[in-house]
A and B are shown apart, each in its own frame.
Chain A
Amino acid sequence: MPLLTIATFLPILAGLALMALPDRSTKKAHTVSIAATGAVFLITLGIWARGIVAGDFAQVEEIAWIPAIGAAYRLGVDGLSLPLVLLTSLLFLLSALYSARIGERAASYVVLMLMLETASLGTFMALDGLLFYVFFEVSLVGMYFMIAGWGYEERQRAALMFFLYTLVGSLPLLLAIIGLYLGSGTFDMRVWVEGTTLGGLPAMLALIAMLVTFAVKIPAFPVHTWLPAAHVQAPTAGSVILAGVMLKFGTYGLVRFAYQMTPEAFAQAGQVILAFGVVSALYGAFAALAQSDLKKMIAYTSVNHMGYVVMGVAIAALATEPRIRTIALDGATLQMVSHGLVTGALFFLVGMLQDRAHTRGIGDFGGLLGRVPWLGWAFILSAFASLGLPGLAHFPAEFQIFLATLNGMPWGLIAILAIVVTAALYLRAIAGVFLGEMNDKWADMPDLDRREKLVVLPLLVLTVLIGVAPGWLIDMIHTTMTGLGN
């Protein structure tokens, strides 16, 4: 059975079916949404059960599309994409559960969410350059309408900024794809990832084009400015998907396209890329420290965490020893998954807090832990994970990245300073919101209800599980990365 295709297109088909229904009530819309995303989650578990292979793409599904130009519908997974696919299907399921309270134009909201899921899964699984670009761009359109339609006060401006920024960002990739195509005569990414399609100046030009695109998407300093604006205005589920899934397009592309398709150029530019990673990590941490809005703060920590990923990939290109390269790539990929889980949880929790209080300012709260222990402890656990506490999801990832940095480019270790800053900012946020004097305004704030617990718990469990016993996930990633590291 073509599980990859089914997983990719089931959401959009469910969305179309919903549009065709004569009765598109709020309840029915959310039922369709939860059922479809749930089914997709189960299917992706099935894809996981089928497994991947070392050194190649597994479960490849291929149909001719535009034979004249060598473009085909090609899907497949490997140790880089499969963890992200699982992350995507989980986060969309949880977002569907969380969004079940949205009453305003629910049917349109659900259709957009489902379209986004199709685009996201397709982006990770596409093995055809043109198909990848199609999914990549469709996700932009979906997210634009999501922010513009269901965001907060300044949503129109934020949505516009997001759309313009990321569209400008993604167009250079189109040129790189054309270059890779003209160099190889096919859009088959399996040919491109062999890394021999382009060489010399064309390879460097293609790399620069790809780096522009993915730096905007990741986002890396200095092209990150759209992210806080988009996050603050986006609806909660939109933020979760944006941070948890769509930022990974950038890091995934960094590995799949930039690192794999133009390896020599990437190694030449490695120091520069590493520097961007280090600066992003530091800048994100310091910028987050300066925020008083919880959501904006978490948005900036994404810049920090993604900076570590960029560092990991750059180290993999710079290091000469295969063992170090593999460790760096393992760490970078694991970091993508950990960030999706932890930041997803944090955005959900801030969203739940905002649903109750209609504000997100750290200074507006105080002493909430006694009032809403579930919400408080969940936030504290996620915050500790986010600052890299051992035993939680970010630790094994960041540890591997720093280990590789130490062995490859020791100067990059100044980024460790960012961990201290993140620790400080999270402790400040926890102290400000959950500890200290209770603000009487919130005396009757309800704790998490059953649905909200159901949304947050899986993420917390996985955060702990990956922190304590990451083996099951790292093994999957490692299967592919040993090949890439050599």
Chain B
Amino acid sequence: MEMGRDLALLAPELTLAAAAMLMIVAEMFRAARLVLAIGLAGLAAATLLTLPMLSVDATVFGGTYRIDLISGWAKLILLPGTALSLLLVRAEITGRPREGSVQSLVVLVTLGALMLSGAGDMMVVVIGVVLTGLGSFALVAWPRDDAATEAAMKYLVFGAVTGSVMIYGLTFWFGGTGSTLFSELGQLQGQTLVTIAGLIAIIVGLGYKGSLVPFHFWAPDAYQGAPVSIAAYLSVITKAAAFFAFAQVLRDLPRDGGWPLALAVIAAATMTYGYLAALVQTNLVRLIAYSSVAQSGYFLMGVVALGASGFAVPGILVFAAAYVAMNLGAFAVVLLAGRDLGDLEGFGRTRPWLGAAMVVFLLSLTGIPPLFGFVGKFYLLSAAVEAGYLWLAIIGVLNSVLALGVYLRLMVPMYRTSSTEHPSEVGAVLTQGTVVVTVLATLLIGLAAGILPGP
């Protein structure tokens, strides 16, 4: 009886898991198109199954996995985002060996991302981190050249170390509460040392996934070594999942442990460092990698305000949705334009529509209204102010200026006259389709923000 209810609530996850298995089977027959079709169908079905469950607030399997606002919206954000990533993967590596393996790994990693987003228990977080991690290492290593291998190696070592630290630190929380459930974390009230030990573990483990400073070192290398589509995927899906997991863990932790201040400092450092580093990059993928490090700092503003502002959870969700759309879109344009900053020279003049789309993505990443990114940033800033972190909001606002500097470095050359050719490539249709979907989301969802979760 109980089991039946649990399984019904888990329908989207189970669907996706089944799809991933079938994809692997299809890959055994080297049927890349079939793999893609199964993946897209599975993602679509899982998304549809999520829709009627948005208002559910329940837990399954003894409280270890949560079906709530966060995990519901996480599915609505991550599943379509994964579908778009699959299209980009298809566009970039179509016909190359083991294309289907890449597709199946992407879906498996998304499954791990869903586990993180719904985690109600320390062990589920660990499983989520490992599942997303293992798949990601393989995805980064896929090109099998030196750069990719090195990047994957760094990523793996970083992941192994932070993962161990996390598991070790979580044992303190288990010792303090006698339970692995996050809902029991309230018992830590007063046990400052234990709280801090576990907190450091969570910050290290999830901060690595979310590429927070100083755990971000792997990100630019991994994005640069991996195929562009994989970089796009990793930069949005696993990162957003990390912040959903942050929200699941920390919303139960008493705020008097001092963690909001610690995270606020990390948030400020992350956004500032990310944009400063992005200012000096000449490789487009690295530039966007550092800019997405900075965006993590904005995500963290919402985490800082958890439990102190009604804007915190909606802020994380809305910004995640916006971030998935605009970052995927920007990467899709990079896929078409080329990996170097010089490749953008004159791009806006020779390809006016794609150029305009890129401008929309970059302005949205800056946080210019009425684009989607603005709505997300607005919620996050409001959350920080309401939680009493006005200084953090001011740093966030000032960083928007740095952000503009970063993104104008892309926009300005796009409208210079230049002789650079911008030919259409194979697979361009799928990529352009992704650009269209993401640009529409960036332009329109911000205007219709009423449909999104609010405080």
Query: Which of A's residues lie within 8 Å of B, judged by CB?
Result: 64-69, 71, 130, 133-134, 137-138, 140-141, 148-149, 156, 160, 163-164, 167-168, 171-172, 174-175, 178-179, 181-182
Contacts and interface: CB of A to CB of B under 8 A. Distances in A.
B412 A160 contact: yes
Interface stretch (B125-133, B218-226, B447-455): B447-455
Q: Which of B394, B397, B453 has the most chain A CB atoms inside 10 A of its CB?
A: B397
10 closest A-B pairs (Cβ-Cβ)?
A68-B454, A134-B369, A134-B370, A171-B397, A66-B449, A66-B450, A137-B369, A178-B385, A168-B401, A178-B382
Contacts of B455: 68-69
Contacts of B381: 174-175, 178
Given A65-B450, A160-B412, A164-B404, A171 B398 contact: yes
B386 interface: yes
A71 B401 CA distance: 25
B341 interface: no
B368 A174 contact: no
28 contacts: A64-B450, A65-B450, A66-B454, A67-B450, A67-B454, A68-B450, A68-B455, A69-B382, A69-B454, A130-B378, A134-B374, A138-B369, A141-B368, A148-B415, A149-B415, A164-B401, A167-B404, A171-B401, A174-B381, A174-B397, A175-B385, A175-B394, A175-B397, A178-B378, A178-B381, A179-B385, A181-B382, A182-B382
Nearest to B412: A156
B369 A133 contact: yes
Contacts of A67: 450, 454
A182 B311 CA distance: 11
Interface of B: 314, 363, 368-370, 374, 378, 381-382, 385-386, 390, 393-394, 397-398, 400-401, 404-405, 408, 412, 415, 449-450, 453-455
Most buried by B among A137, A138, A149, A164: A137
A411 to B, nearest CB: 35
A64 B449 CA distance: 11
Nearest to A174: B397
Nearest to A160: B408
Report whether over half of chain B's contact residues are helix, strand or loop; otherwise say mixed. Answer: helix
Contacts of A68: 314, 450, 453-455
Given A69-B454, A171-B401, A178-B385, A148 B369 contact: no
A187 B454 CA distance: 14
Nearest to A177: B378
A181 B394 CA distance: 16
A249 B368 CA distance: 17
Contacts of A174: 378, 381, 397
B287 to A, nearest CB: 18
A172 B450 contact: no
B407 to A, nearest CB: 11
Given A69-B455, A182-B385, A182-B386, A163 B408 contact: yes
A65 B401 contact: no
A342 B17 CA distance: 69
Contacts of A164: 401, 404-405
Contacts of A138: 368-370
Contacts of B450: 64-68
A166 to B, nearest CB: 11
Contacts of A178: 378, 381-382, 385, 393
A142 to B, nearest CB: 11
Contact of A163 (B314, B374, B404, B415): B404
Nearest to B386: A182
A137 B401 CA distance: 13
Contacts of B453: 68
Contact of B412 (A148, A168, A181): A148
Nearest to B375: A66
Given A69-B454, A168-B401, A178-B382, 9 more contacts: A65-B449, A68-B314, A133-B369, A141-B363, A160-B412, A164-B401, A171-B397, A171-B400, A178-B393
Contacts of B368: 137-138, 140-141
A172 B390 CA distance: 12
Contacts of B449: 65-66, 71
A188 B149 CA distance: 56
